[in-house]
């Protein structure tokens, strides 16, 4: 089964310049029609909207502010205010998904209690997401290399919150790079969580480069993903090892096709 690919403009097409609009145009010229970005805060949303229309690209996902610690109940009001604006901007840009990072964990509270507090925060924004037609994605990210101290370090952390909230509008963003960096076995994890997955992102490991730059067996991995029943786009969230993004992605494009 072929997979459509989505490119994260924060990591790729840097050769086109600093502006996301210019990177989007470069991605479109290279044949990519789905894109992802981080937060829309302090960005020119009308300019991004115009670039999407001009290039014919579709924005798959944005990300809310990762600095908010959802485990801190006194930050929940600020979180809801931030999410309301982020969701409105994501919807304005035609996005279908919005990623909500967990923020940091704290050392003085047992993990189940922390996850309960985070679940309460997520549950409180579900009506806002639904009003904008957005799916909330919870993403575990590795603590070993890239994000020391975060609460969602393992897939099971995000899954626990998703199950506590119990809404079809809250799903899992499974990032293969983060999972393998945390030494999870995708062959064991993916079948267990397949019913909760809203999006999958990929990069090679180690290094977070393009597929083919690390040690992952990509034909086998794509077959594993296919066997879970996932049929959505694969998000490329990686740092190309060379200066030509399109060339770096040629291998995974051929495999995905």
Residue 149 lies in a domain: yes
**How many residues are given for the chain?**
257
Residue pLDDT tens, the chain, 257 long: 799 999 999 999 999 999 999 999 999 999 999 999 999 999 999 999 999 999 999 999 999 998 899 999 999 999 999 999 999 999 999 999 999 999 999 999 999 999 999 999 999 999 999 999 999 999 999 999 999 999 999 999 999 999 999 999 999 999 999 999 999 999 999 999 999 999 999 999 999 999 999 999 999 999 999 999 999 999 999 999 999 999 999 999 999 99
Residue 77 lies in a domain: yes
Query: How far is 48 from 126, CA to CA, in rounded Å?
Result: 25
User: Which residues lie across from 5 on neighbouring strands?
Assistant: 234
As a whole number of angstroms, the longest Cα–Cα distance in the chain is 50
Give the helix, strand, coil percentages of the chain, each rounded to 5: 45, 15, 40
Sign of CA dihedral 150, 140, 238, 64: negative
Domain count for the chain = 1
Residue 133 lies in a domain: yes
Beta-carbon-side half-sphere exposure of residue 73 (alpha carbons within 13 Å): 7
Q: What is the pLDDT of residue 110?
A: 97
Residue 55 lies in a domain: yes
Query: How far is 195 from 227, CA to CA, in rounded Å?
Result: 12
Residue 171's domain spans which residues? 33-209
Contact 171, 136 (CB under 8 A): yes
Contact 54, 22 (CB under 8 A): no
Query: How far is 132 from 182, CA to CA, in rounded Å?
Result: 33
Residue 241 lies in a domain: no
Residue 105 lies in a domain: yes
Residue 141 lies in a domain: yes
Q: What is the pLDDT of residue 1?
A: 76
Query: How far is 84 from 100, CA to CA, in rounded Å?
Result: 12
Q: What is the CATH number of the domain that holds 95?
A: 3.20.20.150
3-state secondary structure of 228: coil
Q: What is the pLDDT of residue 205?
A: 96
């Amino acid at each position: 089964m072929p997979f459509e690919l989505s490119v994260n403009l924060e990591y790729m097409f840097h050769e086109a310049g600093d502006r996301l609009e210019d990177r989007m145009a470069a991605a479109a010229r290279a044949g990519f029609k789905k894109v992802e970005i981080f937060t829309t805060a302090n960005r020119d949303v009308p300019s991004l909207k115009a670039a999407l229309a001009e290039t014919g690209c579709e924005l798959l996902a944005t990300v809310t502010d990762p600095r908010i610690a959802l485990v801190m109940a006194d930050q929940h009001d600020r979180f809801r205010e931030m999410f309301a604006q982020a969701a409105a901007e994501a919807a304005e840009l035609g996005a279908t998904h919005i990623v909500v990072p967990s923020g940091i964990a704290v050392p003085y509270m047992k993990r189940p209690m922390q996850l309960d507090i985070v679940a309460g925060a997520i549950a409180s924004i579900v009506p806002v997401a639904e009003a904008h037609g957005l799916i909330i994605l919870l993403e575990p990210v590795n603590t070993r290399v890239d994000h020391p101290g975060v609460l969602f370090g393992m897939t099971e952390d995000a899954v626990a919150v998703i199950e506590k909230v119990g809404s079809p509008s809250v799903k899992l963003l499974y990032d293969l790079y983060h999972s393998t960096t945390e030494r999870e076995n995708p062959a064991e994890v993916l079948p267990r969580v397949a019913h909760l997955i809203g999006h999958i992102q990929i990069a090679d490991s180690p290094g977070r480069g393009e597929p083919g730059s690390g040690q992952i067996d990509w034909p086998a991995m794509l077959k594993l993903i296919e066997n879970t029943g996932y049929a959505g786009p694969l998000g490329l969230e990686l740092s190309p090892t060379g200066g030509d993004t399109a060339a770096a992605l040629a291998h995974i494009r051929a495999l995905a096709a």
